Amino acid sequence: MKFLSSLFLLASLIYSVSAHTTMSYPLPRSHIFNPNTPFKDYTCLTSPLNGGVGCLPKPFPCGGYPVDTKFSTILIAGQKFNVTFYNPAAPNPDSSTDQARHNGGLCEFALSYNGGITWTKIATYHKTCPDVLFGWTVKIPENAPTCDTLGQCLFSWSWINAAGNLEFYQNCADVKIIGKSITPLPEIDITKANLPEFEDAFFPEGDPSNTGNAKGSGPLAKDITENLKPFSTKPEPEYAPETTKCVKDKKSPYYIVYNNGKKTTLKCKGTKVCHQRHNNIVCKK
């Protein structure tokens, strides 16, 4: 009995430190509520692909989790729905619950028709996402073609946190898409940063109403409006100019992060130095 109690306590401590949110609709691979997954990850699904407390790093894309045995979700071209989130450490959250939100950040939702080799970004939320106490409106493009090959048809949520460590989160759901178009969707890539294979270091802007981990201010109205517009391949409006930049010395390993007006200086790892790439930076030799 003492041994079981110790295990429960250890699991609780791990969750209390490392349990962030997971996407709960559409149900992602290896989610504890997914009836069609061959493997339920009770410990590390909430951790970033970088790894976390008690969790090893996971591969991009989708964390390397196995394909579902059948589709849990069917999506229709033109359909509007709310993406929802779940935190296993706080199954019944309220406004004061610690969600490990890291001050929100940048959430992107995308489709893939080839198992995550390429992506078509279809919705973006800035600053306030994620948050388990809100729904996040997404629309499947009206011109999305049918996709019904298990393992190839994916709905992705990716998140780059606004505060804490430089991390990258991603959940992928196996979804069946029903459409009428025969023309493939264009490639509109998701933001890839904070992993060794991407090199870009990126802190997006955070939630100005809640710089901590509890309930935030919810989806921005302008984001909802943009996400519900007819699907377009035009670039998104710029929300966060000068979010991250190298210091003036071109050979310096140091770079500056702006978060809610607060200036923080960070350093590239090892012998790498900072190189500016638009509003992001790259640490390389």
Per-residue pLDDT of the chain (285 residues; tens, 9 = 90+): 333 333 333 333 333 344 799 999 999 999 999 999 999 999 999 999 999 889 999 999 999 999 999 999 999 999 999 999 999 988 999 999 999 999 999 999 999 999 999 999 999 999 999 999 999 999 999 999 999 999 999 999 999 999 989 999 999 999 999 999 999 999 999 999 999 998 788 889 999 888 889 999 999 999 999 999 999 765 555 554 456 788 876 788 888 877 666 677 888 877 888 887 766 777 887
Q: Is 164 exposed, middle or buried (0-12, 13-18, 19+ CB in 10 A)?
A: middle
pTM of the predicted model as reported, rounded to 2 decimal places: 0.84
Of 206, 25, 20, the closest CA to residue 104 belongs to 206
- CB count in 10 Å sphere of residue 46: 22
Span(s) in the chain for CATH 2.70.50.70: 17-237
Contact in structure between 158 and 170 (CB atoms under 8 Å): yes
Rounded Cα distance, 192 and 205, in Å: 16
| CA–CA gap between residue 53 and residue 57 (Å, rounded) | 10
Pick the CATH number of 17-237 from 2.70.50.70, 1.10.1040.10, 1.10.10.10, 3.40.50.2000: 2.70.50.70
> Do residues 22 and 48 lie in contact, with contact meaning Cβ atoms separated by under 8 Å?
no
Q: What does the alpha-carbon distance between residue 256 and residue 250 come to, in Å, rounded to a whole number?
A: 13
The pLDDT of residue 102 = 93
pLDDT at 237: 55
